A and B are shown apart, each in its own frame.
Chain A
């Protein structure tokens, strides 16, 4: 089972190593892990996509919560949330195929960010399923390079914002 967990962590040296090390030491499988700054300079947000059954995911939550640099955990399992992944993808595109590829990119609301004689560099963001659907369609043209950021997520609605004021 795929589950998205987001953790607000202190923005200081060694935190990523501590959390990555905990995952490795406990034998948890993670699909992606994204770290970035937040609205508070003292905090970073880690968004983790983890694979496992309910029991494993419960342990992941608890073990994350136990890490002293983790301030707060949010588990999106029972929530309404938005998920985004950013992809850069270089597709082999001879001039005669270019319009075909651009059409697919437009259908997915992606963007062409660089054009070369034989290739296009495409930027696309969205939930994981959309990215995969796009990759499936574009693969026959020949993907020469692909990079994805991993998943970011945030809760929908007003609830999530409320907690910000409570932080020390």
Chain B
């Protein structure tokens, strides 16, 4: 499959001469060759030659309101479709505004390619108007970046950027384009073949390691899969399910791994970690063989490291050798792509009855379910719970960062990969609105909902204008608890309720939405909630639904920083 796609891409750019074309024209040819379907961004002086070529281009351009929005849209598009997302910004402030989006994509290994304008090559370093050292600034937050200083190199560089972004452990790549380069005609036929002698992403896991891992799994009484975003980006969820079902092995997922297994399956334990389910966390502490796939033992997942999975032999399958044995010592490392590795492991896994282990997990699940109260204020969990049922757990859900994000992970009920679009690694508040719009552009026939908090929504809500202008029917559900809730929760639990800078009054978001040209809705009472959510889902255009939820609700379970996963606070209802 992958080869056919790659060939097709090559075919489309092959046979076209680039000699005599301007840098901007070559750029455009290359994007067509890569099969780019859409770009997000903002124009500017240093990008004028590029935008002149985009005039009348078959690749539609989405003009966002802020470059951060463009980067998150490209990211949301990429995560929801598996294709590379493309964003464009001008030099200086345009480029610096992209940085949060690039860092977000970098931390979550999302394939994004960013093109930035740059001042003329002979002005670089002169503090020219709208000059910034873009490659310098973005070096630590991109998988790779480059400035093109000769028009002959432009085509090849664009090709390399897409190749690097989508292969291996995916990630953002930035290409900086000085305005004189994009305006110059290429005097010779440029060599377009990628030249990356230092880039050889490891794809096939070592057979001996796969054998060793399979043996350890076969020997284990209580094995457990701990699955992260690597399984999603490698499209390995079918392979994972086959393995889990064959060996009767339960699966817990990280925030970015949600949807790698259908949560309706009895083998699914939902999320682990700081706000993971009790059964997932207890299972981690009890397992004798932890199989990490495409996950990196992040501190939010492991809790206190020296008490993490104390009884387990640890197998770690990851495409990035640097993430293996980084945070925890691994017994059996397998460097390779999740899909390739899992599929080759399948025939080596013996079917085994593990009903005692699954029964133990089931008991934890029954004893400590996720739960919330249903009196008084609308509970944020309830909104998500109902949304899950109304959409048959099948919508694409973007989130901001904070309490609402954790509740969404816990309560939505994930069915399939690429369903949750959320900033896990960087924790970028404001991600939800633009990421949802990007996901909607990539999935025009699917329901896309941004479940957002009042804090996160405030940061990027200007992009609702973009949804309105391009008629993207995204549903924005703002769970307003009048606080920057996650920080308030920490101040309540660890700082003696000294609430400092967390009160967060909001305007009537429904009225704002109406002024923006979207539909606005506002919900105060539980009795209205179900019908309002139904109405929102039936609405045509973009909708902003402002829901006033319980200001004092906390996220549970919670593993405090410095505690082991078994030392969860299960909350007042437990």
Q: Which residues of A approach B to under 8 Å, CB–CB?
A: 9-10, 13-14, 17-18, 21-22, 25, 55, 58-59, 62-63, 65-72, 167-168
State A69–B144 Cα separation when bound (angstroms).
Answer: 9
Q: Is the CB of A25 within 8 A of B322?
A: no
| Complex: chain B residue closest to A24, CB-CB | B140
Which residues on A sit within 8 Å (CB–CB) of B324?
62
State A13–B145 Cα separation when bound (angstroms).
Answer: 11
A-B contact count (CB 8 A): 43
State A21–B322 Cα separation when bound (angstroms).
Answer: 17
Counting CB contacts under 8 A, is B190 at the interface? Answer: no
State A139–B514 Cα separation when bound (angstroms).
Answer: 79
State A70–B198 Cα separation when bound (angstroms).
Answer: 5
Pairs across A and B, CB under 8 Å, 14 listed: A9-B198, A14-B139, A14-B146, A14-B147, A18-B139, A21-B140, A65-B322, A66-B320, A68-B143, A68-B144, A68-B198, A71-B197, A167-B197, A168-B197
Which residues on A sit within 8 Å (CB–CB) of B135?
14
Counting CB contacts under 8 A, is B326 at the interface? Answer: yes
Which residues on A sit within 8 Å (CB–CB) of B196?
68
Question: Shortest Cβ distance from B173 into chain A, in angstroms?
Answer: 9
Known contacts: A21-B139, A62-B321. The answer to whether A68 contacts B326 by CB under 8 A is no
Q: Is the CB of A59 within 8 A of B326?
A: yes
Counting CB contacts under 8 A, is B15 at the interface? Answer: no
Counting CB contacts under 8 A, is B136 at the interface? Answer: yes
Q: Which residues of B approach A to under 8 Å, CB–CB?
A: 135-136, 139-140, 143-144, 146-147, 149, 164, 196-199, 320-322, 324-326
State A64–B291 Cα separation when bound (angstroms).
Answer: 26
Which residues on A sit within 8 Å (CB–CB) of B326?
59
Q: Which of A17, A59, A62 contacts B136 (CB 8 A)?
A: A17
Which one of B140, B149, B322, B324 has the greatest number of beta carbons of chain A within 10 Å? Answer: B322
Known contacts: A59-B326, A62-B321. The answer to whether A68 contacts B199 by CB under 8 A is yes
State A69–B142 Cα separation when bound (angstroms).
Answer: 13
State A167–B322 Cα separation when bound (angstroms).
Answer: 23
Which residues on A sit within 8 Å (CB–CB) of B198?
9-10, 67-72
Known contacts: A10-B197, A62-B321. The answer to whether A68 contacts B139 by CB under 8 A is no
Known contacts: A21-B140, A68-B143. The answer to whether A62 contacts B322 by CB under 8 A is yes
Question: Shortest Cβ distance from B445 into chain A, in angstroms?
Answer: 37
Question: Shortest Cβ distance from A90 into chain B, in angstroms?
Answer: 34
